[in-house]
Amino acid sequence: MIDLHAEQLGDVSVLSIRGAFNMDNLMRVKAFMIEQFERCPRMIAIKCESLDSVDSCAIGVIVQFLNYAADNDIKLVFYDLKPVLQRLFDVARLSRYFTITTRSEFKNQYLLNLKSRKLEHSLT
């Protein structure tokens, strides 16, 4: 079972994934991600705090997401990975291709910049 949730913060879509991402729910996750890509955000951030596991089929789909994001000038960020998933990404050398960060780094680097850009825009 997987639970998916999206929140829009300006031009950043923050997605939460809860449960196991595997072959049984690939189509549901793909449909959910396509909806997010169609909104044309500047960034899609995937909060992985409650993501329990990822199988090899899901990794293939994640690579598809990365390619689609790159082709459409959308930054794809994974944050708050559990240690076991961080190790999986490291062992599979996926961390060389994906932006993976902690929750505090994500907030400081991306969300604070979002607030700054909004403030800058409102001042001009």
Predicted confidence at residue 123, as pLDDT, reads 34
Predicted confidence at residue 94, as pLDDT, reads 85
Show the domains of the chain with their CATH numbers: 2-123 (3.30.750.24)
Q: What is the DSSP string of 12-33?
A: EEEEEEEEEESGGGHHHHHHHH
From first to last of the 124 residues of the chain, give the pLDDT tens digit.
Answer: 899 999 998 899 999 999 999 999 999 999 999 999 999 999 999 999 999 999 999 999 999 999 999 999 999 999 999 999 999 888 888 888 889 999 999 988 888 766 544 433 333 3
Chain position carrying tokens 């990822």: 54
Predicted confidence at residue 115, as pLDDT, reads 54
Predicted confidence at residue 23, as pLDDT, reads 96
Q: Is 122 helix (H, G, I), strand (E, B) or coil?
A: helix
Positive/negative CA dihedral, 66, 56, 96, 20: positive
Predicted confidence at residue 113, as pLDDT, reads 67
H/E segment holding residue 7: strand 2-9
Q: Residue 61, Cα to own-chain centre: how many angstroms?
A: 12
Do 26 and 58 form a contact (C-beta atoms < 8 A)?
Answer: yes
How far apart are the C-alpha atoms of 123 and 88, rounded to whole Å? 44
Structure tokens at 112: 């604070």
